[in-house]
Amino acid sequence: MARRNRTINMPAPYLRRVWLDPARVANRNVYPFALPLLHDDFELRFDKAITIIVGENGTGKSTLLEGIAALAGYDDAGGGKGYMPVDHSRALEKTGGSLSSALRASWLPKITNGWFFRAESFFSVARYLDEAALDDPFGGLPPDFLSHSHGEGFLRFFNERCQRQGIFIFDEPESALSPSRQIEFLKLLHRMNEIGHCQVIMATHAPMLMAYPDATLLRLTRGELEPVGLKNTDHYRLMRQFCDDPEGFVAEALTEATA
């Protein structure tokens, strides 16, 4: 047991590279291998402890994260190693397993601790953790994640789980967070980065989270992942136009809608 939780004295990132092995692709014509992102030369390198992926809806960010999560040994519907018993029968999009069978990875070293957070399955995972703690005679007080508001529960969960050594995968963590809670989440990211033994791979639509300064920011577009500056993302540009002139922005959008 002690061995399993021993901290490895090497800094993140631990997952250095993932790539597709075309020979393992079952069927190019069906999801997930029909996604433009998953072409034969697909490769993603991790140079920093924090990697942030942005892109339009439907470009394949969640699919990619599910595949990486499955490679890391996490349930592709969310959770961490050791939390496979969570009932995900009603969770959406359990597809990472099929993608991961065609992905290859290089690790330095292989890390098996961490967490895959996806908003859709947070509640089933949180419920499992609450119930598991109640069943554990040596577990002390149960975490009680579910008795908080969505945002409070998420933040508390992040703060308790995400500072140990590991690889942490977040799919749109902002979905339950108000802007001020997003700042709290940024602080958590910073702590994880400073600790030096947390690797984070995150997909987000929130400009505030994209702005974390010491991260690799990648944009997924036309089937390619490419480095991008925050101010060149569509998310930032649109939000900026909105903040500069909210009434004019909305009026123009509504005019387009009725044109």
Binding residues for ligand ATP (CB under 6 A): 31, 35, 55, 57-63, 93, 95
- Nearest distance from C-beta of residue 159 to ligand ATP, angstroms: 24
Nearer to ligand ATP, 58 or 227 (CB): 58
- Nearest distance from C-beta of residue 74 to ligand ATP, angstroms: 16
Rounded to an integer, what distance in angstroms lies between the CA atom of residue 259 and that of residue 244?
Answer: 24
The answer to whether 161 and 115 are in contact (CB under 8 A) is: yes
Cα 149-61-28 angle, rounded to 5 deg: 140
- Nearest distance from C-beta of residue 26 to ligand ATP, angstroms: 14
Rounded to an integer, what distance in angstroms lies between the CA atom of residue 155 and that of residue 33?
Answer: 34
Nearest to 33 by CA among 44, 45, 22, 17: 22
CA torsion sign for 187, 193, 196, 200 is positive
Q: Is 57 helix (H, G, I), strand (E, B) or coil?
A: coil
Nearer to ligand ATP, 60 or 80 (CB): 60
Nearer to ligand ATP, 62 or 113 (CB): 62
- Nearest distance from C-beta of residue 64 to ligand ATP, angstroms: 7
Rounded to an integer, what distance in angstroms lies between the CA atom of residue 12 and that of residue 5?
Answer: 16
Nearer to ligand ATP, 95 or 112 (CB): 95
- Nearest distance from C-beta of residue 72 to ligand ATP, angstroms: 17
**Residue 9 in tokens:** 């004295």
Nearest to 220 by CA among 202, 238, 208: 202
Nearer to ligand ATP, 63 or 193 (CB): 63
**Residue 57 in tokens:** 């809806």
Nearer to ligand ATP, 32 or 143 (CB): 32
The answer to whether 163 and 192 are in contact (CB under 8 A) is: yes
- Nearest distance from C-beta of residue 81 to ligand ATP, angstroms: 23
